[in-house]
Amino acid sequence: MFVVGGELKASHVYGQCLGLEDHQLNEGCDLAPATDFRTALGEILTKHFGVRDLNGVVPSFDNNSHKFPGLVRA
């Protein structure tokens, strides 16, 4: 996932690469996901757009702000 914009913190790669060996790839051909996109989306919607209740956007997901990756300037 790529996130760009003026309200983001300094350029940084968030997350980790789980490896490029055949046994580490998702379905043998794609990089395995290491970051749940919903945490980044939740942070952007909360901090940048002011959404207070994320359950309407991402139902049944634990939208605990302590799990946000720290993408958006506070």
The domain limits of the chain are 1-74
pLDDT band at 12 (very low <50, low <70, confident <90, very high): low
% of the chain beyond a pLDDT of 70: 80
Burial of 49 (0-12, 13-18, 19+ CB in 10 A): exposed
Give me the pLDDT at residue 70, please. 83
- How many residues does this entry show for the chain? 74
Residue-wise pLDDT tens digits, 22-54? 888 988 888 888 888 888 889 889 988 999 889
Q: Find residue 53's DSSP bridge partners.
A: none
Give me the pLDDT at residue 10, please. 65
**Cα(61)–Cα(74) distance, integer angstroms:** 23
% of the chain beyond a pLDDT of 90: 3
pTM of the full structure? 0.68
